[in-house]
Structures are given as structure tokens and as C-alpha cells.
């Protein structure tokens, strides 16, 4: 998988995907409803610190924020628990994934890498998208350019199984919704936006005060597909509030912190387990990418998952 990401985006000795990013800090406060859904220790805390990384798609560390390929944006969260452990959540700004399986995603990446401007038509990517309409939708219907990383909703597209203290189980997918709502650039603002406008916007934004996100669990109903992240669950499914994430400040010593931090989708407490097999592949790929980028000689300031 890591090699396939490098085939698509190049090997820059940074994160293999979501390479360009910025880190911020804040706190998480669980809701009263959260512990009724999962016995996870995170939901029994009063509040805990969080480290959050916002990012652009692709493994290209200097991709312009205005490039259409920089979508979907990413939001990765590390919750620092009182016992010294942590929990990670990985999400992006599109409600769904381009493929049903990790193997198909690898095929897509290889097709992208084989379909440069000089490739013969139809390209490998053209052929793949013709037989994978969901992937075509993913690549061609992303959100407009956001005013801020903080003005986007993010989705955890892989399902988890939550178990509460009574043993009741539920399948969930995550949503992270900005309390202030989503906001996008006007045409005039797009024309004036620079290649790093999202990271440059953050300090001033947070200087005006903390930004709140609602962390929600979308609950699957009988018959919903659990192991296929390319199929979004219907919007009428129940949402349970897990708590509030407050984004408060830029992370200190960001380049060092970014380089030394990895977000692992299966880094979860008791009461939460993977329900989608793709999570196992993703969880195994991230440490490989992490180890690979440590071999670079110079620190990289903009390097996600």
C-alpha cells in the first residue's frame, strides 16, 4: 500500500498520503450520552488534551491548497488519556471512500501513477474509473475550496463496533461537525488565495478564540453495509453526540512534532473495535510510512497519517 501511494504521488520521504499539513492543540470533553454507547475510557474522562492535524490530500508535500487534488482535506486527532495512553481518530472531508476494499484502493493508486499527461488514451485511470463509478464520483465531486480547515466537516468512513458497560453493541461511523457550520471561499476569494492559504489562515483564526467541533457517532441500522466504506449510510440514521472538541492554539515546535507523530486508526481503548477490515490494512501501512519518512536527512515542516 505504501509503495502504491509512492507510485501515485512520488516518494518525498514524508507521509505517503496527506503529506502537507499543520498541527494544532485543544481539548475534548465527552458528552453524557457517549458512555451509554461505549465503555471506552475516553468517555469517562472529564476532559483530555488533543493534538489535531489538518492536511491536504496526496503525498505531495508542497501541493497548493488551491489545487483540486488537495481535496479531500484530512483531520487526524490524538486524544491523550489520563493513564498515559492515547486514542486516534482519522477522518477526511468527504463522506465516503473511493473504493470498497484496500486492494481496490491500491489498484486506483497504481492507475493514477500510470496515467500522467503523456500516457496513451484511454489511460489506466480512465479504465479504472469506467468500472468503478464510486471512485469517479469521489475524484470529481469534492467540496469547493474551504475558507479554513476549521470550516469543514470531516468523516470517519470506516466503521467501528462500540460496546457499552452492559455489553450492548452498535456499529458506528464518526462525524466531526464545526459548530459554526461549513464555509467556502467566494470566487473572488479563490482568485486571491495563495498556495498555502489554509495553514496561513489558522493562527489568525485561532487568535480570535477557540473553534468547537461536535464529534458524533452515526449509528448503523439493520441492513447497512458495515465493511464497505465506499457506501455512505443514509442521512436519516441516528446520530449520538460523543462530545466536543475545542481547537485552541497552534501546536508548539510544529515541525518536530509533526515528524514524530503517527496517527493509528486502531489505537483505540477497550469498548471500541474495528468493524471494517480496511482498518487493519491502514493500521499496518501507517507505521511503515512513519519509519520511511524518518530516513530523510532534513526535517520536513509540512508532513499526516
24 found inside a domain? yes
Alpha carbon distance, N-terminus to C-terminus of the chain: 13
Number of domains in the chain: 1
35 found inside a domain? yes
299 found inside a domain? no
The pLDDT of residue 296 is 65
Report the C-alpha gap between 88 and 265 in whole angstroms. Answer: 6
120 found inside a domain? yes
The pLDDT of residue 302 is 38
pLDDT in tens, 69-98: 999 999 999 999 999 999 999 999 999 999
302 found inside a domain? no
Which of the following is catalytic: 6, 13, 18, 205? Answer: 18
Peptide bond connecting 72 to the previous residue in cis, omega within 30 degrees of 0: yes
Domain housing 206: 2-293
The angle subtended at Cα 17 by Cα 16 and Cα 19, nearest 5°, is 90
Percent of the chain at pLDDT > 70 equals 97
- Residue 36, burial from CB neighbour count under 10 angstroms (0-12, 13-18, 19+): middle
Q: Are 90 and 74 in contact (CB under 8 A)?
A: yes
* 278-293 vs 102-113: helix crossing angle, rounded to 10: 50
pLDDT in tens, 189-227: 999 999 999 999 999 999 999 999 999 999 999 999 999
We report the CATH number of the domain holding residue 217 as: 2.40.180.10
pLDDT in tens, 96-113: 999 999 999 999 999 999
7 found inside a domain? yes
132 is catalytic: no
149 found inside a domain? yes
Q: Are 57 and 73 in contact (CB under 8 A)?
A: yes
303 found inside a domain? no
Amino acid at each position: 500500500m505504501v509503495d502504491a501511494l509512492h507510485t501515485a504521488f512520488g516518494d518525498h520521504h514524508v507521509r505517503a498520503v496527506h503529506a502537507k499539513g499543520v498541527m494544532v492543540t485543544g481539548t475534548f470533553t465527552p458528552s453524557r450520552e457517549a458512555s451509554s454507547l461505549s465503555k471506552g475510557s475516553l468517555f469517562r474522562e472529564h476532559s483530555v488534551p488533543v493534538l489535531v492535524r489538518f492536511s491536504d490530500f496526496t503525498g505531495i508535500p508542497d501541493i497548493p491548497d488551491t489545487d483540486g487534488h488537495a481535496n479531500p482535506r484530512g483531520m487526524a486527532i490524538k486524544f491523550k488519556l489520563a493513564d498515559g495512553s492515547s486514542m486516534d481518530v482519522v477522518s477526511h472531508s468527504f463522506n465516503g471512500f473511493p473504493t470498497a476494499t484496500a486492494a481496490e484502493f491500491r489498484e486506483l493508486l497504481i492507475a493514477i501513477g500510470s496515467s500522467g499527461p503523456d500516457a496513451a488514451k484511454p489511460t489506466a485511470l480512465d479504465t479504472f474509473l469506467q468500472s468503478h463509478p464510486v471512485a469517479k464520483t469521489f475524484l470529481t465531486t469534492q467540496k469547493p475550496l474551504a475558507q479554513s480547515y476549521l470550516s469543514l466537516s470531516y468523516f470517519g468512513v470506516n466503521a467501528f463496533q462500540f460496546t457499552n458497560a452492559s455489553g450492548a453493541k452498535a456499529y458506528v461511523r464518526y462525524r466531526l461537525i464545526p459548530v459554526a457550520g461549513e464555509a467556502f471561499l467566494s470566487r473572488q476569494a479563490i482568485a486571491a488565495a495563495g498556495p498555502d492559504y489554509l495553514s496561513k489562515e489558522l493562527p489568525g483564526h485561532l487568535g480570535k478564540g477557540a473553534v468547537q467541533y461536535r464529534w458524533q457517532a452515526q449509528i448503523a441500522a439493520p441492513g447497512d453495509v458495515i465493511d464497505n466504506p465506499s457506501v455512505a449510510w443514509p442521512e436519516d440514521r441516528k446520530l449520538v453526540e460523543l462530545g466536543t472538541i475545542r481547537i485552541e492554539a497552534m501546536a508548539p515546535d510544529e515541525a518536530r512534532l509533526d515528524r514524530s507523530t503517527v496517527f493509528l486508526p486502531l489505537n483505540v481503548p477497550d469498548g471500541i473495535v474495528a468493524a471494517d477490515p480496511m482498518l487493519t490494512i491502514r493500521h499496518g501501512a501507517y507505521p511503515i510510512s512513519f519509519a520511511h519518512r524518518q530516513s530523510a536527512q532534513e526535517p520536513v515542516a509540512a508532513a499526516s497519517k
